[in-house]
Structure 1
Amino acid sequence: MPIILGRLAVVVAMGLAVCGGLLWAGVIVVPNHLNPFSPLRIADSPSWLTRLKLGRLERNGAQCLAVLADSEVSHKPVTDQPLEQGCGFSNAVEVSRSSVGLSRGFTATCSLTVAWALFEEHVLLPAARRHLGQEIVRVTHFGTYACRNINHRAGGRRSEHATANAIDIAGFVLADGQQITVKGDWIGSDPRRRAFLRALRDGACDVFDVVLSPDYNEAHHDHFHFDMGSYRTCR
């Protein structure tokens, strides 16, 4: 039996290798979002391959900028800021607006900005239409780059904000002028707003590496934290 299982494992491995080669060569054609070898596209719906492809962009600055150029995010590359005491950034962009307005511009790593573009296209805008029946016109955020530790503690590990690899989202403005905030509506009286915010939290987990909401701890009672760090958390 061990010999048979060993031979079967070899056959399976060879089959996977052949299929991988045919995919790479383009002999086998599958949809872009299901092809692990094809570049990420903002237009593709998130799948189990999305975060794999985002990871590649973190290691390939030129390809990341090419993906971002095919989005609605208005941006320009910024000069690298070498790490000093755990703070700084590389392959970052300055964002002035995206498919919606922003309370202010921000500087973020290219991969975080691509993830934000995916989030807007496939999570934020559809959730607003589904739960609120209208468009989002502006996003209010607390910022991206800040040379600090996690939760502003005096000691401990640096936050992903220290490398411009995180963004904190506080609220949204609808087309009719209504404002929705994480602080006021996460456990507010309007079930549509609660459902909208939870849809954002859940959908963000398909794109970002770390997603923290008011359900995580008191420090996040008034915002969502999204980052592209080395950990994986969805709370």
Structure 2
Amino acid sequence: MMRRWQFLLVGCLAACATLSDAAPVETSLVPVTRPSAAPVLAFVDPIRPRLRPALAQVSAAAVRPSDLSALSGHSPLRPYLRPKSAELQVLFKKRKLRKTSVCGDIDIQGKPVGRVPGRIKACGIKDAVQITSVSGVALSRPSTMDCGTAIALNKWVDKTVKPTFKRRGPVIELQVAAHYACRTRNNQKGARISEHGKGRAIDISGFKMADGEVVTVLSGWRKNPSQRQLKKIWRGACGPFGTVLGPNSDRFHRDHFHLDTARHRSGPYCR
């Protein structure tokens, strides 16, 4: 009978034989290299920022038909961007206006005249300009004056005349009754030299609208709705100008506004 230790020895030998027939196990103290994979920073944004995609407005402006009306049914709620050609037109227009502006203001269009001598000593203008338009509103004829008067005229048209006729107009032209002239006040013999003779006055007899309508001082001063508008314009001139005379002042001004930049000790004289 086989002893117990002999039986155990036989079992160990059988197990060792089985292990020797199996595939050898690869073992190493060196860690196994990881298989190739995406780098750790694959999902991290690069340091240089990405360019933004083009806006829909920019793309739409590039393909928008030039004859498409802004009020057509195809217009989106979001307005189109201005095409580059329109921006250039505005730029060139401003550059052109700047070349023909006077008195240091692009809204005052005309040309410098220089010294205008008077036929008598009290008349004349030292640095005269000939104005053709102010604040986008044309003068019915080129008018000679000094820059102080041109600036006052521009301010009056911009702040009072244009807003007053905004719904009825817009106003596109001032009817000029008189500008520079070497004469006495109201052409009266023996009177003082008029502010017209110093280049500091202009007379306005009417206002022309874009549809061709002309609102005159003579016919509109006592007739609604022109009366209300003309009186508002007359009041608005008192401040930019030192003297403002209208139909209520005397018989010489029943058909026009006399505006001059003379300064009075008691302040503007408006009648």
Note the 1:125-204 alignment, pairs <5 A.
125-129=162-166, 132-188=167-223, 191-204=224-237
Q: Distance in 2 between matches of 1:67 and 1:194?
A: 33
TM-superposition CA deviations, 1:155-190 (whole Å, max 9, x none): 1211000111100000011111111100111012xx
The equivalent of 1:51 in structure 2 is: none
The equivalent of 1:116 in structure 2 is: 153
2:106 aligns to what SS in structure 1? coil
TM-superposition CA deviations, 1:129-175 (whole Å, max 9, x none): 2xx53200111011211111111101121100011110000001111
1:178–1:163 distance in 2 versus 1, CA, 3 Å:
same
1:79 aligns to what SS in structure 2? strand
Amino acid at match of 1:234: C
Note the 1:9-20 alignment, pairs <5 A.
none
Deviation at 1:87, TM superposition (A): 1.1
- Whether the aligned pair in 1 keeps the contact of 2:145 and 2:179 (CA below 8 Å) is yes
Q: Distance in 2 between matches of 1:128 and 1:110?
A: 26
Deviation at 1:230, TM superposition (A): 3.0
Deviation at 1:206, TM superposition (A): 2.1
The equivalent of 2:41 in structure 1 is: none
Amino acid at match of 2:248: D
Q: Distance in 2 between matches of 1:176 and 1:82?
A: 40
Deviation at 1:104, TM superposition (A): 0.6
Q: Distance in 2 between matches of 1:176 and 1:81?
A: 37
Deviation at 1:92, TM superposition (A): 1.6
1:85 aligns to what SS in structure 2? coil
Structure 1's unaligned 5+ residue stretches are 1-65
Q: Max radius of gyration: which structure?
A: 2
Note the 1:48-67 alignment, pairs <5 A.
none
Q: Distance in 1 between matches of 2:214 and 2:117?
A: 38
Deviation at 1:70, TM superposition (A): 2.5
Amino acid at match of 1:214: P
Amino acid at match of 2:168: G
Runs of 4 or more above 6 Å deviation: none
Amino acid at match of 1:71: I
Percent of pairs identical after alignment?
34
Count the aligned residue pairs: 166
Structure 2's unaligned 5+ residue stretches are 1-100
2:248 corresponds to which of 199, 203, 215? 215
- Whether the aligned pair in 2 keeps the contact of 1:143 and 1:167 (CA below 8 Å) is yes
Amino acid at match of 1:201: W
Deviation at 1:67, TM superposition (A): 8.4
